[in-house]
């Protein structure tokens, strides 16, 4: 899902847990009129676990499972154009877990992508329709995510080789075309120990906030780039759970999703506190957007563990607590 400022655009995805049914179609939802419209057929194959970003004028779809191609969609003309093929994989391999194997971030001008398992990186310039390879992060991690503080790119990666004895989140910063490794953070606690997940990080005003799947039973930490240091902050109130939905930004706030609930919490950067609230199903950033006033979710699926049975989709919108 992507938010254009006027519409929510949904494109592609899978129809069941095995991925035997995949989609290459899309639709756009207008919250002001509570109405949907179809979008033109894309010139690329149906796919899942692709990257989708809004540039300000166009939607870019890139990659997917075993894919390196992509396309760009203009709502103004309801038309698509192909984009150049990436020099690195832009999706997980078939049969692999999806979360944390591909990291991506849109800076406002360029799309940065990290193929975590091979530590290959590249960025895409829509204006020139070109991909440029980047040096590896050198973090040696098992899952990862790319984030931005509005000025620089950061790679967060979880190193789980000796888990549960070690539950480490590593971080590196891209500066002058090279990666600089920064201090890491430990999430292991005597009370609870769930593997670190790099996707459970997000930028909030002046710091990155990170937590493990242990939610309120584990640590919540903040990384301040100006000091290159981690500090413990108020704990995320979501319940402990092996699976947590990737958070989204809501202005300077963060909205986290705890799948064992279903619960959510909003982190206010101004006061450094969390406010829990209820949501529907199992949201995650892949199919959830912030419009500036409310959360819109499409693709809330049920039920994993059912094999090839079709997913049930529940679309909803909700205004979180202020």
Q: What is the mean pLDDT of residues 229-247?
A: 91
DSSP assignment of 244-281 equals: EEEEEEETTEEEEEETTTTEEEEEETTTTEEEEEE-SS
What backbone phi and psi angles, to 5 degrees, belong to 216? -70, -15
Band (pLDDT 50/70/90 cuts) for residue 162 is low
Q: Average per-residue pLDDT in the chain?
A: 92
Q: Is the pLDDT higher at 40 or at 193?
A: 40
Q: Is pLDDT at 297 greater than 90 in this prediction?
A: yes
| pTM of the predicted model as reported, rounded to 2 decimal places | 0.95
Please give the pLDDT value at position 301. Answer: 65
Contacts of 258 (CB under 8 A, 6+ apart): 215, 236, 238, 239, 241, 244, 245, 264, 265
Q: Is pLDDT at 19 greater than 90 in this prediction?
A: no
Please give the pLDDT value at position 218. Answer: 87
The Cα–Cα gap between 103 and 113 comes to 6
Please give the pLDDT value at position 212. Answer: 87
Specify whether the CB–CB gap between 22 and 13 falls below 8 A: yes
pLDDT single digits (tens) 106-141: 999 999 999 999 999 999 999 999 999 999 999 999
The number of beta carbons lying within 10 Å of the beta carbon of residue 98 is 14
Band (pLDDT 50/70/90 cuts) for residue 160 is confident
Q: Is 84 helix (H, G, I), strand (E, B) or coil?
A: coil
Q: Is the pLDDT higher at 20 or at 157?
A: 157
Name the least confident of 95-99, 197-201, 245-249: 95-99
Specify whether the CB–CB gap between 220 and 235 falls below 8 A: yes
Q: Is pLDDT at 268 greater than 70 in this prediction?
A: yes
Place of tokens 């329709």: 129
Q: Which of 52, 143, 141, 148 is nearest to 101 (CA)?
A: 143
């Amino acid at each position: 899902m992507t938010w254009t400022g006027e519409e929510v655009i949904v494109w592609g995805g899978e129809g069941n847990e095995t991925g035997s049914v995949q989609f290459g179609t899309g639709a756009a939802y207008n919250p002001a009129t509570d109405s949907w419209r179809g979008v033109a057929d894309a010139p690329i194959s149906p796919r899942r676990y692709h990257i989708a970003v809004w540039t300000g004028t166009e939607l870019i779809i890139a990659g997917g499972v075993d894919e390196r191609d992509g396309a760009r969609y203009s709502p103004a003309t309801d038309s698509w154009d192909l984009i150049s093929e990436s020099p690195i994989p832009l999706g997980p391999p078939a049969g692999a877990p999806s979360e944390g194997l591909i990291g991506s971030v849109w800076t406002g001008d360029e799309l940065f992508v990290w193929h975590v398992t091979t530590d290959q990186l590249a960025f895409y310039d829509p204006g020139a329709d070109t991909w440029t390879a980047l040096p590896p992060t050198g973090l040696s991690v098992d899952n990862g995510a790319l984030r931005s503080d509005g000025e620089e790119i950061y790679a967060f990666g979880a190193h789980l080789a000796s888990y549960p004895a070690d539950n480490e989140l590593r971080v590196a910063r891209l500066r002058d075309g090279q990666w600089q490794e920064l201090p890491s953070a430990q999430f292991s606690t005597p009370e609870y120990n769930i593997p670190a997940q790099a996707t459970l990080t997000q930028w909030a005003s002046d710091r990155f906030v990170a937590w493990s799947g242990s939610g309120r039973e584990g640590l919540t930490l903040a990384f301040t780039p100006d000091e290159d240091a981690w500090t413990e902050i108020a704990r995320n109130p979501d319940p402990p759970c092996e699976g947590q939905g990737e958070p989204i930004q809501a202005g300077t706030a963060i909205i986290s999703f705890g799948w064992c609930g279903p619960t959510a919490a909003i982190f206010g950067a101004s006061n450094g506190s969390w406010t829990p609230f209820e949501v529907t199903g199992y949201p995650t950033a892949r199919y959830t957007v912030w419009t500036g006033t409310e959360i819109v979710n499409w693709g809330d699926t049920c039920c994993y563990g059912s094999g090839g049975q079709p997913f049930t989709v529940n679309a909803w919108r909700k205004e979180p607590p202020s």
